Structure 1
């Protein structure tokens, strides 16, 4: 599903590619908040431009390419900060988070907007 969204909504050509995603340590991937991170890993590989190691991506990706709010975003950002990330990208619907963090939080509306921002 994520590959179809990357093609249709972000304008990436993937139909002639073999795409394999490996999740470390047998982690079960059933949390929609991982959608954005998986998409950005695919984009980084496709563009041969690795995502910066201190950037974290948290968000569900909808069929329209928009980013959706995720649960427990404050906990997720705090954990990203603890792990040494410097920037976190989340949906604008998560903007109501009350506390401030030691990481820069970016609010991004769409997958295409994020890709354009990071690769240009």
Structure 2
């Protein structure tokens, strides 16, 4: 996984993430498990067709698209951890390309608050009303 960090306006950071095939390998199994439950293939019970048959009939892209939510969720949190950023809101994710997977994470940062000098504030001591 490669990512590039750039600053946006209004206290936002943009992370452009590029995933290669080795990053996606574990997600083919997840996508297969989701897809095999939805489809029926003649000669196999529903949910029991082997991976290579599903891949030959539907293609790797279809299998991967079933796992896209998992991919974006996992890789987003991984990129945020690696960049050492802290956000106070969930990030916005924009999918740029599917094959190979490229997406952008827009992460709002906490606003900076500048406090005035407390020592310059004069207060009068309250008198007891007794």
- Above 0.5 in TM-score? no
Give 1 or 2: higher strand fraction.
Answer: 2
For CA contacts below 8 A with separation 6 or more, give which structure has more relative contact order.
Answer: 2
Superposition TM-score, scaled by structure 1 size: 0.28
